[in-house]
Amino acid sequence: MDVLNPPNPPATVEEFRDRLAAVSDSLPRRLRQCADHIAANIDRIAVSTVAELAAGAGVPPSALMRFCQIMGYSGFSELQKMFREAYAPGFPDYTTRLANLKTGGAGSPSALLAEFVEAGRLSLETLAKSADEAALVEAVDILATARTVHIIGLRRAFPVASYLAYVFEKMQVPAMLHDGVGALDHRHALRDGDAVLAITFAPYSVETVAIASDAQARGLPVVALTDRLTSPIARASRAILMVTEVDFGAFRSLSATLAMAMALAVAVGSRRK
Amino acid sequence: MDVLNPPNPPATVEEFRDRLAAVSDSLPRRLRQCADHIAANIDRIAVSTVAELAAGAGVPPSALMRFCQIMGYSGFSELQKMFREAYAPGFPDYTTRLANLKTGGAGSPSALLAEFVEAGRLSLETLAKSADEAALVEAVDILATARTVHIIGLRRAFPVASYLAYVFEKMQVPAMLHDGVGALDHRHALRDGDAVLAITFAPYSVETVAIASDAQARGLPVVALTDRLTSPIARASRAILMVTEVDFGAFRSLSATLAMAMALAVAVGSRRK
DNA sequence: AAGTTTTTAGAATAAATATTCCAAAACGTC
DNA sequence: GACGTTTTGGAATATTTATTCTAAAAACTT
């Protein structure tokens, strides 16, 4: 065990999240996989076994054990005990429904539609449950006081970025969309007093991370909208809005991300009046 | 095992409750203690062990095992498995969490988030109920047989258009995104055998309608993704995918539209293999 | 490129947990 | 109060699950 890790393990879910965010930067590959999977499935810890979680993370059970110890626990059992005690009731059984849907009408367009609808609903639900209010408030603060908001998001994140640009324009918030058109380097557009809103999901695009780091290096605040606390952009950001989307097959929805984006944009817009 | 007990165990929490109520009248002392304690602590089954529950009920573990079998399961593990799968994310459940988010007061960032989450969910629900299966099948047909798919969507529809372009690219469907950059007229890019996928919402952008009409005039099939059957684009389209979004204040969500877009893109992609 | 440290996988082991079984107790019937 | 039936408790066993340990691989350092 590392001397840097305090011996007292997180005693609440909040503390657990904090420690997770704190250590995940400095984790080697397998342990980071553990961290990511645990972060995305924090609500299933109480009802899972080591083997199940390890399989989900794509690591051998022993890696997950090491992860538990790095988090400050004696082992998985101690960690799980905390989650079992901290649990709260209530079961809308969506997991089983989704499983049923998947085995059902495979392939037809309307079956696909049903899948994506369900994935979207689940994502929204997860967002409601896991949203970090403090981070959201901080993000609004940063963007509401910025001179100009620079929005960057490519590939899968681009629709979100362009939507934010649209809403900001409608609300007369000075914003600039960095879209990668022409492979121009827009970094010189950053001025003192500006802020960056960076959106990226695994696999993280280097351009986005680069702009965020650049801004950070120049002392400009960065708000990140991303899918993992362990995202490479996290280090460069002052506020991290984490959104996990449920995916169906290889395709991930954007419902939760857009809901978060809308809330952010409207909050910023009305704060600036 | 009793012949009166059907061999198929309850598969949902509801069924479990029903069976519990049905049998508990005719149970001997110890087994009734089990039934009572289980009924009172139904939400702890997923996170407890046989020993814990037995102790809570004041019976030996073997009594609880017999109880599980009377309920129709092979043992405790099978019963617990059902509850673990049904165990939806524990922390505050969805509705109470939404209520919590709103306590920040109207206009607070988290209240806004709650509203947009709710709007998104409602939109998805409506879509699930009202989707026109025939139109969707026809749209997939048209796009799957097209040489190149021309995607056009501006303003609020642009994020959807760019997302479709992204998914098509990932699925190796030849597609071209008409983005209005430089106010160029891209209509001459349309060739015989191509198809147009036009996305527009009120107030409908003239560029989108123009491209659709042009394609129609030249005999190319047009698929429309829009919000009204009376949309100006409807006349020019061979298949109309109608999606109505719930709006919150002046802001309309995109959840349902994106779910439809994903289903469409994936269906087309896999049809083209 | 050789040596040092860190990280990893998986087999081996330990611990917890579930399940069975049967002798004894309780119950009901005559 | 003896006899068959049902119910019970707990010890014995089986199974699952967690944890440790070590040799090998990978990643750094110099």
Whether residues A81 and A139 share a domain: the answer is no
Domain of B38 in residue numbering reads as: 13-86
- Model pLDDT for residues A138-159, shown as the tens digit of each residue: 999 999 999 999 999 999 999 9
Q: Quick one: pLDDT band at residue B100, thresholds 50, 70, 90?
A: low
Residue B3: pLDDT band by 50, 70, 90 thresholds? very low
> Residues 237-256 of chain B: which lie with beta carbon within 7 Å of strand C?
none
Task: Write the CATH number for B26.
Answer: 1.10.10.10
Q: CA-to-C1' distance for A36 and C4, Å?
A: 30
Q: pLDDT band at A160, cuts 50/70/90?
A: very high
- Residues B174 and B81 both lie in one domain: no
Neighbours of A62 (CB within 10 A): 11
Strand C close residues, chain B 79-108, CB < 7 angstroms: 80
In this predicted structure, which of A148-162, A258-272, B26-40 has the lowest mean pLDDT? B26-40
Mean pLDDT, range A3-10, rounded to an integer? 57
Would residue B117 count as lying in a domain? no
Q: Let me know whether B68 and B192 are in one domain.
A: no
Cβ–Cβ under 8 Å, residues A135 and A237: no
Checking if the pLDDT of B226 tops 80, the result is: yes
Co-location of A75 and A174 in the same domain: no
Mean per-residue pLDDT for B236-250? 86
* Residue where a domain stops, chosen among B32, B57, B86: B86
Gap from B190 CA to chain A (nearest CA, Å) = 22
The DSSP 8-state label assigned to residue B204 in this structure reads P
- Residue that is last in its domain, among A66, A86, A106: A86
From A107, A256, A266, residue closest to B251, measured CB to CB: A266
Strands A247-248, A251-252: pairing is antiparallel
Q: Using a CB-CB distance cutoff of 8 angstroms, which residues of chain A are in contact with residue B90? A: 43, 46, 86-90
Residue B176 within a domain: yes
- B59 and B142 housed in the same domain: no
Task: Calculate helix-pair angle for A29-40, A13-23, nearest 10 degrees.
Answer: 150
- pLDDT computed for residue B187 by the predictor: 66
| Cα(A105)–Cα(B159) distance, integer angstroms | 29
Of A47, A120, A181, the CB nearest to B87: A47
More confident residue, B198 or A11: B198
B268 and B141 in one domain? yes
Residue of B nearest to A137 (CA): B109
pLDDT of residue B163: 94
Q: Test B93 with A94 for CB contact under 8 angstroms.
A: no
Going B32 to B37 to B39 to B44, the CA torsion angle's sign is negative
Residue B39, in any domain of the structure: yes
Q: A155 in the Ramachandran plot: left (φ > 0), alpha (ψ -120 to 50) or beta?
A: left
Mean pLDDT of chain A: 82
Q: What is the total count of domains within chain A?
A: 2
Residues B63, B174: one domain?
no
- Same domain assignment for residues A82 and A137: no
Which of A112, A137, A270 is the closest to B267 by Cβ? Answer: A112
Q: What's the per-residue H, E or C state across chain A?
A: CCCCCCCCCCCCHHHHHHHHHHHHHHCCHHHHHHHHHHHHCHHHHHHCCHHHHHHHHCCCHHHHHHHHHHCCCCCHHHHHHHHHHHCCCCCCCHHHHHHHHHHCCCCCHHHHHHHHHHHHHHHHHHHHHHCCHHHHHHHHHHHHHCCCEEEEECHHHHHHHHHHHHHHHHCCCCEEEECCHHHCCHHHHCCCCCEEEEEECCCCCHHHHHHHHHHHHCCCCEEEEECCCCCCCHHHCCEEEECCCCEECCEECCHHHHHHHHHHHHHHHHHHC
CB A1 within 8 A of CB A69: yes
Which candidate in A102, A115, A117, A172 is best for mutational testing of the B interface (most B CBs within 10 A)? A117
| Residue A21 forms part of a structural domain | yes
User: Given this model, what pLDDT does residue B33 score?
Assistant: 83
Residues B64-85: pLDDT tens digits? 998 888 888 888 988 889 888 8
Domain boundary among A26, A54, A86: A86
Q: What is the pLDDT of residues B167-220, one digit of tens each?
A: 999 888 999 999 876 556 666 788 899 999 999 998 888 889 989 998 999 999
Q: Kindly state whether residue A112 falls inside one of the protein's structural domains.
A: no
Q: What is the pLDDT of residue B95?
A: 65
On whether the CB atoms of residues A117 and B124 are closer than 8 A, the answer is yes
| Nucleotide in closest CA–C1' contact with B58 | D9
More confident residue, A95 or B199: B199
Identify whether the C-beta of residue A129 lies closer than 8 Å to the C-beta of residue A148.
Answer: no
With cut-offs at 50, 70 and 90, classify the pLDDT of residue A264: very high
Has residue A93 got a pLDDT over 50? no
**Domain-located, residue A173:** yes
Pair A156, A237 in one domain? yes
Q: Which positions in chain B touch A94 (Cβ < 8 Å)?
A: 88
Interface-testing mutation among B82, B124, B200, with chain A (most A C-beta atoms within 10 A):
B124
Considering only the beta carbons, identify the residue of B114, B162, B254 that sits closest to A258.
Answer: B254
Say yes or no: B138 and B192 in one domain. yes
Q: Closest approach of chain B CAs to the CA of A2, in angstroms?
A: 31
Q: What is the pLDDT of residues A12-69, one digit of tens each?
A: 777 888 788 778 777 888 888 888 888 878 888 888 999 888 888 888 888 989 998 8
Three-class HEC string of A209-273? HHHHHHHHHCCCCEEEEECCCCCCCHHHCCEEEECCCCEECCEECCHHHHHHHHHHHHHHHHHHC
**Closest by Cα among B211, B153, B157 to B186:** B211
Q: Which of B103, B247, B254 has the highest number of chain A CBs within 10 A, making it the mutation to test binding with A? A: B254
A4 within domain boundaries? no
For residues B231 and B163, membership in a common domain is answered with yes
Q: Is the residue at A128 inside a domain?
A: no
CATH number for the domain spanning B142: value is 3.40.50.10490
Q: Residue A1: its pLDDT value, please?
A: 40
Distance from CA of A219 to the nearest CA of B (A): 25
Q: Do residue B134 and residue B77 come from a single domain?
A: no
Whether residue B203 is preceded by a cis peptide bond, meaning omega within 30 degrees of 0, is yes
Q: Which residues of B touch A163 (CB under 8 A)?
A: 156, 158-159, 254
